[in-house]
């Protein structure tokens, strides 16, 4: 019997996930049926949930997701490429300084996240109850816009960071074998980096000047 | 605030814009990374073929541009509730989903074909044309998503 017996306990995590999904589905359907059969079907209202979650919740969650998922993508890319740089550098220590460029590309992804988070957070401020009556639709819309601007930044940067990390890993390994290859494989990393930039562009389009404030 | 233009109508439009760029980025990232691994592997044996092998990476990047275009169009058309009704919201949501998921699918296709294609082309140069043809068919899948997204977005 080896130290890692692949067939033992392999399915338990998957079964746990399926069980959780099925339990959640059953709870959701039975709550809906309960409302329907007691004559309160119109109260099972997704739109009521969307409107009554405070706009501040939406906006602040957007800011949080923007920075946290961007940094997650940057860190993920960094450890993928860093492990390869250090591993390949055992036999070719000359690669260590040049391949830091790949790590810096991953850091740029985190910088995109912090820029968007700062832009989004400037829009959140105090409001008075009178302003909520006159600007209700505007504040609701701005809450959604800030949430999705942050969410799309976080997710695009997550994808971009992992992509740049994987390509950087390949670049380090190729560089260790032949020193001329690094610059040409860096071109691929630049294409990968553009993905995070597209996310920043759309986040600025969506989330710029969407103020939830009285001033 | 009416039943046809409730206050939460822009939620679906914003979600469409986000879906467009996020899922297209996932597809583009997968295509870039998977092809990039293939290029880095074959570059050790055939360094002069690197520039020709960037083609899968460029095509994966184009998928992200499809998502960018649709997300920008949706974001420019967003507004608050009575002006932007539920019809607009769901049209934009559908547009975002169509370009997004088509981008994921096309990105997976371009990535896997690019990886195998560049490794094969390094060993047999006559395979290059075949690889490009297969990549074009994969790219066209993302284009179909873009077409439907534009039809939906201009429907309101």
ipTM confidence = 0.94
Instruction: With CB atoms and an 8 Å threshold, state whether B21 touches A50.
Output: no
Q: How much helix, strand and coil, in percent to the nearest 5, is found in chain A?
A: 80, 0, 20
Residues A44-93 have pLDDT tens digits of: 888 899 999 999 999 999 999 999 999 999 999 999 999 999 999 999 99
Confidence of residue A2 (pLDDT cuts 50, 70, 90): low
CA distance A117 to A140: 19
Q: Taking the CB of residue A3, how many other CB atoms lie within 10 A of it?
A: 4
Question: How is residue B6 annotated by DSSP?
Answer: -
Instruction: With CB atoms and an 8 Å threshold, state whether B18 touches A151.
Output: yes
Angstrom CA distances, B64 to A74, B47, B114, stand at 19, 28, 17
CA distance A74 to A177: 26
Which residues have C-beta within 8 Å of that of residue A99, sequence separation ≥ 6? A81, A85, A168, A171, A172, A175, A182
**For residue A173, which of A92, A100, A106, A101 has the smallest C-alpha distance?**
A92
Q: How much helix, strand and coil, in percent to the nearest 5, is found in chain B?
A: 85, 0, 15
Task: Taking residues A21-31, report their average pLDDT.
Answer: 94
Position A141 scores a pLDDT of 96
> Of the candidates A138, A162, A180, which has its C-beta nearest B47's C-beta?
A180
Instruction: With CB atoms and an 8 Å threshold, state whether B44 touches A136.
Output: no
A212 strand-pairing partners: A124
Residues A162-178 have pLDDT tens digits of: 999 999 999 999 999 99
Instruction: Write the DSSP string, A187-205.
Output: HHHHHHHHHHHHHHHHHHH
Question: Which of A2 and A21 is assigned the larger pLDDT?
Answer: A21
Residues in chain B predicted with pLDDT less than 50, given as ranges, are none
Interface test mutation site (partner A, options B14, B58, B74, max chain A beta carbons within 10 A) = B14
> Of the candidates A137, A198, A206, which has its C-beta nearest B25's C-beta?
A198
Q: Which helix (H) or strand (E) holds B79?
A: none
Angstrom CA distances, B75 to A77, A149, A187, B63, B92, stand at 29, 10, 30, 18, 9
For the entire predicted model, the pTM comes to 0.91
Chain A CA closest to residue B82? A137
Min Cα separation A185/chain B (Å): 7
């Amino acid at each position: 019997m080896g130290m890692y017996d692949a067939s033992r306990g392999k399915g338990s995590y998957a079964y746990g996930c399926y069980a959780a999904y099925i339990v959640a589905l059953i709870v959701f359907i039975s709550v809906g049926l309960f409302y329907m059969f007691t004559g309160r079907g119109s109260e099972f209202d997704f739109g009521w949930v969307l409107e009554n979650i405070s706009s501040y919740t939406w906006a602040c969650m957007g800011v949080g997701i923007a920075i946290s998922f961007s940094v997650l993508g940057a860190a993920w890319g960094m450890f993928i490429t860093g492990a390869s740089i250090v591993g390949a550098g055992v036999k070719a220590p000359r690669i260590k300084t040049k391949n830091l460029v790949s790590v810096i590309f991953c850091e740029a992804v985190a910088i995109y996240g912090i820029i968007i988070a700062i832009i989004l957070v400037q829009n959140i401020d105090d409001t008075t109850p009178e302003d909520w009556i006159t600007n209700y639709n505007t504040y609701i819309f701005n809450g959604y816009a800030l949430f999705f601007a942050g969410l799309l930044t976080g997710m695009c940067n997550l994808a971009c960071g992992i992509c740049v990390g994987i390509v950087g890993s390949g670049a380090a390994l190729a560089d260790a074998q032949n020193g001329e290859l690094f610059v040409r494989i860096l071109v691929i990393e630049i294409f990968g980096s553009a993905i995070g930039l597209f996310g920043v562009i759309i986040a600025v389009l969506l989330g710029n000047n969407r103020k939830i404030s009285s001033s | 605030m009416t039943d046809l233009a409730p206050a939460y109508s822009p939620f679906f439009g914003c979600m469409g814009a986000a879906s467009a760029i996020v899922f297209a980025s996932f597809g583009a990232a997968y295509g870039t990374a998977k092809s990039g691994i293939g290029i880095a592997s074959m570059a050790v044996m055939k360094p002069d073929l690197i520039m020709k092998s960037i083609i899968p990476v460029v095509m994966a990047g184009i998928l992200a541009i499809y998502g960018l275009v649709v997300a920008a169009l949706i974001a420019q058309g967003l507004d608050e509730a009575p002006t932007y009704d539920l019809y607009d919201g769901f049209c934009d949501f559908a547009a975002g989903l169509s370009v997004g998921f088509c981008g994921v699918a096309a990105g997976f296709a371009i990535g896997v074909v690019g990886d195998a294609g560049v490794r094969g082309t390094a060993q047999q140069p006559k395979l290059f044309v075949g690889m490009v043809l297969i990549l074009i068919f994969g790219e066209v899948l993302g284009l179909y998503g873009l077409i439907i997204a534009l039809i939906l977005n201009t429907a309101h």
